[in-house]
């Protein structure tokens, strides 16, 4: 089990703007979206609410890996990489429904199980 370090949690708390969430299709063709409805869940997940996914959902259900890129208030960039899960029910889904704005559908919770973290070329995890 990978634990997201406190340095990353602190940077996440001050992130500036939306995150960039990237997946890939079965041929390796990347798909990147801006996402604003995101939270860290427990010790090892970053969750993105599926409010309007199309290609992203298909890529996740096809078993791709993914990444999330964000910039902290201090203008430091972080990239989190890992495996993806798609939750339509259960504790992770219920947590997403708690923080996802009510005006958005919250069809599911896309969960990046963090395996690696980088800031520039520096590997943090």
Domains in the chain: boundaries: 6-120
CA angle 62, 67, 21 (to 5 degrees): 85
Q: What angle do CA 71, 74, 113 make, to 5 degrees?
A: 35
- Interval 74-109: pLDDT, tens: 999 999 999 999 999 999 999 999 999 999 999 999
- Output the pLDDT for position 2: 74
4: CB partners within 8 A, 6+ apart:
40, 43, 44, 46, 80, 114, 117, 125
pTM value? Answer: 0.95
CATH topology of domain 6-120: Pnp Oxidase; Chain A (2.30.110)
DSSP annotation of 30 reads E
Is there a contact between 19 and 62 (Cβ–Cβ < 8 Å)? Answer: no
Contact at 8 Å (CB) between 42 and 96? no
Residues in the chain where the model's pLDDT stays below 70: 1
pLDDT at residue 85, as a whole number: 98
pLDDT reported for residue 1: 61
Cα–Cα distance for residue pair 3/51, rounded to 1 Å: 27
């Amino acid at each position: 089990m990978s634990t997201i370090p406190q340095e990353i949690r602190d940077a996440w708390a001050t992130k500036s703007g939306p995150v960039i969430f990237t997946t890939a299709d079965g041929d390796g063709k990347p798909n990147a979206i801006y996402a604003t409805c995101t939270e860290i869940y427990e010790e090892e997940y970053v969750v993105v609410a599926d409010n309007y996914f199309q290609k992203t959902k298909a890529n996740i259900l096809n078993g791709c890996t993914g990444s999330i890129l964000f910039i902290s208030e201090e203008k430091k960039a972080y990239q989190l990489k890992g495996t993806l899960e798609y939750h339509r029910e259960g504790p992770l889904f219920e947590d997403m429904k708690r923080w996802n704005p009510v005006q958005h559908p919250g069809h599911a919770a896309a969960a990046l199980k963090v395996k690696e973290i980088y800031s520039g070329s520096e590997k943090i995890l």
